[in-house]
C-alpha cells in the first residue's frame, strides 16, 4: 500500500506545497542552472532597497568553524529595476514568491510594501527589519519592540498580502519582539536573521570582514536559532519560518519540532548547490520512517518532560 506524504504548510493565507524555501541573500536567478525552482515551497529573492546600493567593502565573507560571517550590505539595483526585471523573471515559475524588503524608515517600508504588494507575482512580503550590516554596530529596527510594532502596523494598512517579519536574534528577549509583531498584525515570523559577529586575522591584526563586523550563519548557529524558535513558539501563535544553519533534512525537522512551520535554507546552498532539494528528499525519508502523513503534525512537537 502506498501512502502519500503531505508536505503542504501555510503561512497565513499563503499556501506552500512544501516547507522548504531559500533564505534571502542566499538565492537568486543565477541558481536556475542548478535547481528547479518549481520544486521549492517558495522563492525569496535578495532583499530589495528603494534606491540602488553599492554594498560594503570587501572582504565581504569569511569562514569560521561550521559557519560564515558575511557583511554584504544589501548590494541592490533598487526598486525600479526590481519591478522591471527581477519580479517579471519569476513569473515563469508556479512557486509563490515572497518579496524581501529592506528600508531606511518606517514610512519607506510602507511605501515600498504598497508598491511591491500590488504586483501579481508577489504572494507575500518579508520585512527585513533585522539586517545587521546597514547601520553602525549592527543596529536594526527589529531590536526595539515598539518600533517593530509601529512598522508592522503601518505596513499592515497598505496591503492585505501576508506579512512576515524577519526578526533579529541580536536581542535580549526575542519573544518581546515576536509578540509586538503579532499584535501589530503580522501573518508570520522569520526566526531569524544572522547573529552579529566578528573575526580577526591574528597575523595582520585586521578584521576578516571589510565592514569590521558581520552576521554569522551556518550550522554553528543552529542550536541558538532552534532555541529561539522554541521560545517564540511558546508565546506566539503566528507561523514561524526557521532560518539559521539548516544543512540537512534532519536540521529542518529539528526546527519544525521546535515550532517552525517552514524552513529557510541559506548558507547550505553555498556548500551544496542542490541542498534545498536534498533536504526535501530527506524530509520525505523521515516522514516515511516515522509514518508521518502530514508534515504539519510535527510542528512544535518537541517532547519536554514535565
Partner 1 sequence: MKAVRLQVISNKQVSQRYWHMVVDSSLLGETVMPGQFFHIRCADEYYPFLRRPLSIYRINKREQTLEFLYLVKGLGTKRMTEIAPGAEVDVFGPLGKGFTLHDSWDTILLLARGVGIATLAALAQEAAEKGIRCVAVLSARSRNDLLATETLQGFGAEVYKVTEEEGTSDVEHVREIIHAIMAKNDIKAAYVCGSKRLSLLLKEIVREKRIPAEIALEEHMGCAMGVCFACVCDLQEEEGLRTVRVCREGPVFPLEKVVIP
Candidate ranges 101-109, 117-125, 156-164, 264-272; the one touching partner 1 (CB under 8 A)? 264-272
Q: Can residue 127 be called a binding residue for partner 1 (CB under 8 A)?
A: no
Catalytic residue among 62, 131, 236, 243: 131
SS3 for 268? Answer: helix
Q: Can residue 132 be called a binding residue for partner 1 (CB under 8 A)?
A: no
Site map 37..56 versus partner 1, x via CB under 8 A: ---------x-------xx-
Query: Which residue of 6, 17, 61, 89 would you call a contact of partner 1, by CB under 8 A?
Result: 61
Paired with 62 in beta bridges are 69
Kindly state the helix (H) or strand (E) to which residue 189 belongs, with its residue range. strand 188-191
Contact 220, 268 (CB under 8 A): no
Q: Can residue 219 be called a binding residue for partner 1 (CB under 8 A)?
A: yes
- Please confirm, yes or no, whether 236 is among the known catalytic residues: no
Buried b (16+ CB within 10 A) or exposed e, 90-110: beeeebbbbbbbbbeebeebb
Q: Can residue 59 be called a binding residue for partner 1 (CB under 8 A)?
A: yes
Query: Which residue of 68, 122, 225, 279 would you call a contact of partner 1, by CB under 8 A?
Result: 68
Q: Can residue 271 be called a binding residue for partner 1 (CB under 8 A)?
A: yes
Count of residues that interact with partner 1, criterion CB under 8 A? 35
Per 3-state DSSP, what percentage of the chain is helix, strand, and coil (rounded to 5)?
35, 20, 40
The verdict on whether omega for the bond into residue 181 sits within 30 degrees of 0, i.e. cis, is no
CB of 251 to partner 1, least distance (A): 12
- Sequence-distant (6+) residues with CB within 8 A of 223 are none
Candidate ranges 102-110, 165-173, 176-184, 215-223; the one touching partner 1 (CB under 8 A)? 215-223
- Sequence-distant (6+) residues with CB within 8 A of 133 are 56, 70, 71, 72, 73, 74, 211, 214, 215
Candidate ranges 58-66, 116-124, 148-156, 255-263; the one touching partner 1 (CB under 8 A)? 58-66
Cα–Cα distance for residue pair 142/171, rounded to 1 Å: 9
Query: Which residue of 5, 6, 10, 31 would you call a contact of partner 1, by CB under 8 A?
Result: 31
Which burial class, exposed, middle or buried, applies to 170 when counting CB atoms under 10 A from its CB (0-12, 13-18, 19+)?
Answer: buried
Q: Can residue 89 be called a binding residue for partner 1 (CB under 8 A)?
A: no
CB of 288 to partner 1, least distance (A): 25
Q: Can residue 160 be called a binding residue for partner 1 (CB under 8 A)?
A: no
Cα–Cα distance for residue pair 214/232, rounded to 1 Å: 24
Q: Can residue 240 be called a binding residue for partner 1 (CB under 8 A)?
A: no
C-alpha cell at 229: 524558535
Q: Name the residue nearer to partner 1 (CB basis): 132 or 218.
A: 218
CB of 62 to partner 1, least distance (A): 7
Q: Name the residue nearer to partner 1 (CB basis): 220 or 252.
A: 220
CB of 72 to partner 1, least distance (A): 5
- Closest-CA residue to 262 (of 176, 174, 162, 175): 162
Q: Can residue 205 be called a binding residue for partner 1 (CB under 8 A)?
A: no
C-alpha cell at 239: 507561523
What are the residues binding partner 1 (CB under 8 A)? 25-28, 30-31, 33-34, 46, 54-55, 58-68, 70, 72, 75, 218-220, 247, 269-274
Residues annotated as catalytic are: 131
Amino acid at each position: 500500500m502506498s501512502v502519500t506524504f503531505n508536505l503542504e504548510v501555510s503561512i497565513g493565507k499563503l499556501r506552500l506545497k512544501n516547507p522548504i524555501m531559500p533564505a534571502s541573500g542566499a538565492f537568486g536567478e543565477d541558481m536556475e542552472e542548478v535547481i528547479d525552482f518549481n520544486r521549492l515551497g517558495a522563492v525569496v529573492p535578495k532583499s530589495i532597497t528603494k534606491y540602488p546600493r553599492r554594498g560594503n567593502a570587501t572582504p565581504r565573507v569569511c569562514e569560521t568553524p561550521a559557519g560564515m560571517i558575511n557583511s554584504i550590505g544589501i548590494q541592490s539595483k533598487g526598486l525600479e529595476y526590481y519591478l522591471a526585471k527581477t519580479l517579471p523573471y519569476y513569473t515563469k515559475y508556479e512557486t509563490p514568491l515572497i518579496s524581501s524588503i529592506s528600508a531606511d524608515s518606517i514610512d519607506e517600508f510602507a511605501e515600498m510594501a504598497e508598491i511591491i504588494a500590488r504586483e501579481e507575482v508577489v504572494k507575500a512580503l518579508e520585512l527585513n527589519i533585522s539586517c545587521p550590516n546597514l547601520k553602525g554596530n549592527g543596529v536594526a529596527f527589529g531590536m526595539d519592540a515598539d518600533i517593530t510594532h509601529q512598522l508592522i502596523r503601518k505596513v499592515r494598512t497598505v496591503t492585505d498580502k501576508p506579512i512576515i517579519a524577519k526578526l533579529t536574534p541580536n536581542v535580549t528577549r526575542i519573544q518581546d519582539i515576536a509578540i509586538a509583531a503579532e499584535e501589530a498584525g503580522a501573518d508570520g515570523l522569520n526566526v531569524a536573521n544572522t547573529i552579529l559577529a566578528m573575526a580577526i586575522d591574528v597575523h595582520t591584526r585586521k578584521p576578516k570582514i571589510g565592514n569590521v563586523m558581520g552576521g554569522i550563519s551556518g550550522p554553528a548557529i543552529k542550536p541558538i536559532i532552534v532555541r529561539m524558535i522554541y521560545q517564540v513558539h511558546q508565546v506566539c501563535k503566528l507561523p514561524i519560518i526557521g532560518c539559521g544553519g539548516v544543512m540537512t533534512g534532519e536540521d529542518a525537522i529539528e526546527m519544525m519540532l521546535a515550532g517552525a512551520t517552514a524552513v529557510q535554507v541559506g548558507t547550505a546552498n553555498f556548500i551544496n548547490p542542490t541542498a534545498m532539494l536534498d533536504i526535501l528528499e530527506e524530509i520525505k525519508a523521515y516522514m516515511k520512517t516515522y509514518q508521518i502523513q502530514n508534515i504539519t503534525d510535527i510542528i512544535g512537537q518537541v517532547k519536554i518532560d514535565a
